[in-house]
Chain A
């Protein structure tokens, strides 16, 4: 299953890659694979912007604008002008949780 094409904010600078493999290890959708001792992007559209790769990339080769994908949270964020957060940790009845 893939979500919308061409929307991800994932940026990768192969020039900074040290070949540590962390991105391959953490990506839950197999977006990265090793090619010639460096990571390469297999399919950008599989990226769900969770941010695990960017956080664990020591050389700063990866950047992604990560955040929750809950529609309810984003609507609330749009209305209040704040960063979207899901209601999972509060006691409200917002229901669906990331």
Chain B
């Protein structure tokens, strides 16, 4: 059995790594080695905490344990956080049982208690762990910061400790990874817009592509910001529970405000283009906002399925009608219609 040492201190370079990880620079590779770690000077009576091998999770745990001496058993969750990994089963009963055996935990400690993060309960069956290893699982608090007071209280959780929150700061740190994927798709949107507006009877003209396309490139950015940033951050303040409706509202408001900016205003003179604008961009915002359901702490699968059943046909319809309006505008522009 290999024993590793760790501490409650987070170094400056690690803080920089955390920032980069949050913004998606090396998200998939931020790992710690699975196995048993000693934090401080734990003895045979010290508590055993279970964690995941996503370094952001492991660091979030250990930085809350200043002044304590305990064991941390890190499961191999392929670099995924506890909750997500528990949903997949990698943070699960089998892996926990295997790691207990591999670390020789029954010889490291005399007691038979394990503290599993509460969100790990999605993958860990406490009764089965006890049957297979003799260790009794207590599901600790949701947040690592509550662990010291949970231990002081004799392993008793308040309802506050067992409830997941989703405050503005919690939501804000998630927005870079909401923006990231949509920004990657933006060049395709931009290319399509420039092509459509560059297309003239004389051929593809760069000047008209840029002049007429620019307002729509900006509106595209506005819709992305509405769906991937404003909706998540202002989530509880936007009316309705449905994420697609929330995104539709922020998208609509954003397009309206953007239309007041001179460079965009001039694209709104034509009724067809204006209709397409107010149809297409709020729909884009709505679709992007719906993706945020995957990152929240309170949305469930049945609800998302319901939103998609109603939403997806509407999104396809909105995109199709917008395209028709644009084609009608082009035909009118060319004097055909």
Contacts and interface: CB of A to CB of B under 8 A. Distances in A.
Interface of A: 1-5, 7-9, 22, 24-30, 46-52, 55-56, 58, 65-75, 78, 84-86, 88-89, 91, 93-98
Q: Which 6 A-B pairs have the closest CB atoms?
A: A95-B181, A70-B294, A26-B121, A49-B300, A52-B121, A4-B303
Given A7-B306, A49-B301, 9 more contacts: A3-B303, A25-B118, A28-B142, A29-B164, A55-B123, A67-B301, A88-B80, A96-B178, A96-B291
B37 interface: no
B302 interface: yes
Contact of B299 (A24, A69, A85, A93): A69
A96 B181 contact: yes
B126 to A, nearest CB: 6
Interface of B: 28, 78-80, 83-84, 86-88, 90, 118-119, 121-127, 139, 142, 157, 159, 162-164, 166, 177-178, 180-182, 184, 235-236, 241-242, 290-308, 312
B122 A74 contact: no
Contacts of A9: 302
Contacts of A97: 84, 177, 294-295
Contacts of B124: 55-56
Contacts of B182: 95
B27 to A, nearest CB: 8
Contacts of B236: 1
A88 to B, nearest CB: 6
Contact of B300 (A3, A30, A91): A3
A73 B235 CA distance: 21
Given A49-B301, A74-B305, A97-B177, A91 B28 contact: yes
Given A28-B297, A69-B300, A5 B84 contact: no
Contact of B157 (A25, A50, A66, A95): A25
Contacts of A7: 300, 302-303, 306
Given A94-B181, A97-B295, A50 B241 contact: no
Given A2-B241, A69-B304, A98-B83, A28 B119 contact: yes
Given A52-B121, A78-B308, A96 B298 contact: no
A72 B294 contact: yes
A28 B82 CA distance: 14
B118 A70 contact: no
24 contacts: A5-B241, A25-B121, A26-B162, A28-B297, A29-B298, A30-B162, A48-B298, A49-B301, A52-B122, A67-B301, A68-B87, A69-B294, A70-B304, A71-B290, A71-B293, A71-B308, A85-B88, A89-B79, A95-B177, A95-B178, A95-B180, A96-B291, A98-B83, A98-B295
B301 A84 contact: yes
Given A4-B241, A75-B312, A26 B118 contact: yes
A51 B177 contact: no
A58 B182 CA distance: 43
